[in-house]
Structure 1
Amino acid sequence: MQYIDSFLSYLKYEKRSSRHTLIAYEADLRQFGQYMEDMGIDDERGIKTRFIRDWVVTLHYNNLKPRSIHRKVASLRAYFKYLLREEIMSSSPVEGVVLPKIPKNLPDFVKEKEMDFLLDHVLFSDDYTGIRDRTIIDLFYGTGMRLSELVALRDSDFDLKSGLVKVLGKRNKERLVPVNRSTIHSVNEYISVRNKTFGAEKFPAFFLTDKGKAVYHKLVYRIVNKHLKSVTTLAKKSPHILRHTYATILLNRGADINAIKELLGHANLNATQIYTHNTFEQLSSIYNQAHPRA
């Protein structure tokens, strides 16, 4: 397909999409473009709805999960919407494509007592690495920020006197998130040991590797995965699980769902409402245990 590069430029410079979004869109569109070329079609105006339906069926028979199929078709939908905007096409072939249903899986989360045990009783080493790792986990749990948001943090994003951290979210949208006293203590301790270890006035990022470079996504994932293994048997032990944990615990303790939406940086309330199901699950469990006729 011949307009992919211009579409990606539009996403990058006009929509200000993140690097990961650009990578995902490009991979999906290149894959579909190759599928069309194999059918002898190299012009977008020759793409019909039935071709996209056939592609969806092919993805399904190749055991791709429904959620992944939805994402790929969403990439196509955005691409053809762009072509309509540019008046390259007069209609979108994506409309009318039926997609497989996505099973509703409740988001996993770490129990509150398990997080308390991890942060209060699990022994982290008292060197730079141990203090950094504990602060990373504490900050995820205390703010609910995304992995990409934590990696992008700079010293100037923190206002510890006011108990706030500025987070740069999706589409470069900034939000201020409160930081609790315990997490502030962890952050201050980390800053102190980091400055003593590397002694630089300016750092490439807030969190650094053992060699003084900016941390990267895989390293932070490994740090979280390693330490969550000591307190939970959940299959997934990722930074995003700590985001789920943050939101679920806030709801369970009575926080307003609209406030949680703002804290998480969600664009709409639908993305936040998945956490209410966990709350209802917990309430149902308490009812079943406590009520004599349950």
Structure 2
Amino acid sequence: MLFSFIHYLEFEKRASPHTVLAYQKDLEQFQLFCKDSFGLEDISEAAYGEIRAWIVDLVEQGLGNSSVNRKIATLRSFYKFLLRSGTIKKDPTFKIRVLKTPKKLPEFVQEEAIEKILDEFVYTQDFEGQRDKMVMEFLYLTGVRLSELLNLKWKDLDLYTSEVKVLGKRKKQRIIPITNGLKKNIISYQKVFEETFSVVDQNDYFIVRINREQAYPMKIYRIVRKYLDLFAQTSKRSPHLLRHTFATHLLNKGADLNAVKDLLGHASLAATQVYTHNSMEKLKAVFEQAHPKA
């Protein structure tokens, strides 16, 4: 049944490869625990007790509550799948409760640091320098996810209409507008791309390595970390941090929440509302500084 569930995630739910792999690892880990601790070979036969024991074991190993909750979510999805398919008659995760986790506001890069990274820092004029600059600009000015940037091709960019077509989670497509400044820099990047690799093929990936092959996730992580280390005062240094920054800066400037939701490709408004907390903190600070009775 494990194979059937993974197949369901890949081809019916259209989950990302990263998600599929994470679910598979979680289930294999639970399967090993059940076998070693209870002699249970088939996890479809696991009950509340086995699942509860695994959660306790994970906590005792020092795994964080958020990570444990993700594994609980994996089990819930798996047993709901088995329930729908008629393999089991009762969901053993029904009484399982998630662990409490402290709510953390998403970090973001201050505007002054972004200006230094994008406007003041001098990138090298060779392909890799200009590509790095484009990575930083594109992540911040469009708010795309890492996977969306990696899979972007030149044909997805329409410089005439100043739009970019992005394929997001569950193969959901959305259109993001391109600012005039970003459009100008894309044209400059295209020129360097052509000087390095000859004429741009529309099926070429937008962000590539020096061998013209598609960039990989760790490559983008290294690029982002390299430049954030120079100016940002945040504890995190990831591509997703620039997505957080994109959303926070828009809301700080008064952007409509629903519009930001659509730009980010969120399925629900609740996922976008987390960024309003940062905006509210800024409003509170302004109020306390400016109001005579604060």
TM-score range, shorter chain: over 0.9
Q: Which amino acid aligns with 2:208?
A: L
Of 15-24 and 39-48, more deviation after overlay is shown by: 39-48
The equivalent residue for 1:10 is 8
The equivalent residue for 1:135 is 134
Does residue 96 of structure 1 match 2:102?
no
Q: 1:247 to 1:71 in 2, by over 3 A?
A: same
Q: Which amino acid aligns with 2:27?
A: L
The equivalent residue for 1:156 is 155
The equivalent residue for 1:268 is 268
The equivalent residue for 2:20 is 22
Q: Is the 8 A contact 1:149 1:167 kept in 2?
A: yes
Q: Which amino acid aligns with 2:229?
A: K
Q: Which amino acid aligns with 1:80?
A: Y
The equivalent residue for 2:189 is 190
Q: Which amino acid aligns with 1:117?
A: K
Shift of 1:114: 1.4
4+ residue runs of structure 1 moved beyond 3 angstroms? none
The equivalent residue for 1:71 is 70
Q: Is the 8 A contact 2:15 2:170 kept in 1?
A: yes
The equivalent residue for 2:29 is 31
Secondary structure at 2:223 match in 1 = helix
- What are the equivalent positions in structure 2 for 1:1-294 lying under 5 Å apart? 3-38=1-36, 39-202=38-201, 204-294=204-294
Q: 1:231 to 1:45 in 2, by over 3 A?
A: closer
Number of aligned residues? 292
Shift of 1:43: 2.4
CA–CA distance in structure 2, aligned partners of residues 60 and 123 of structure 1: 47
CA–CA distance in structure 2, aligned partners of residues 113 and 42 of structure 1: 57
Secondary structure at 2:66 match in 1 = helix
CA–CA distance in structure 2, aligned partners of residues 254 and 65 of structure 1: 36
Shift of 1:101: 0.8
CA–CA distance in structure 1, aligned partners of residues 245 and 112 of structure 2: 11
CA–CA distance in structure 2, aligned partners of residues 234 and 201 of structure 1: 37
Give the share of equivalent positions with the same residue, in percent.
42
Shift of 1:201: 4.8
Q: Is the 8 A contact 2:164 2:175 kept in 1?
A: yes
TM-score by length of 1: 0.96
Which stretches in structure 2 are left out of the alignment for 5+ residues?
Answer: none
Q: Is the 8 A contact 2:34 2:41 kept in 1?
A: yes
Q: Is the 8 A contact 2:16 2:169 kept in 1?
A: yes
Deviation track 1:35-59 (CA, whole Å, cap 9, x = no partner) reads: 1111211223431112211211111
Q: Is the 8 A contact 1:221 1:239 kept in 2?
A: yes
Of 37-46 and 213-222, more deviation after overlay is shown by: 37-46
Q: Is the 8 A contact 1:53 1:98 kept in 2?
A: no
Q: Which amino acid aligns with 1:30?
A: E
Q: Is the 8 A contact 1:147 1:217 kept in 2?
A: yes
Shift of 1:204: 4.2
Which stretches in structure 1 are left out of the alignment for 5+ residues?
Answer: none
User: Aligned-pair RMSD on alpha carbons?
Assistant: 1.2
Secondary structure at 2:287 match in 1 = helix
Q: Is the 8 A contact 1:229 1:237 kept in 2?
A: yes
Q: Which amino acid aligns with 2:52?
A: R
Q: Is the 8 A contact 1:28 1:75 kept in 2?
A: yes
CA–CA distance in structure 2, aligned partners of residues 135 and 78 of structure 1: 38
TM-score by length of 2: 0.96
Q: Which amino acid aligns with 1:258?
A: N
Q: Which amino acid aligns with 2:26?
A: D
Secondary structure at 2:152 match in 1 = coil
Shift of 1:191: 1.1
CA–CA distance in structure 2, aligned partners of residues 199 and 81 of structure 1: 52
Secondary structure at 2:176 match in 1 = strand
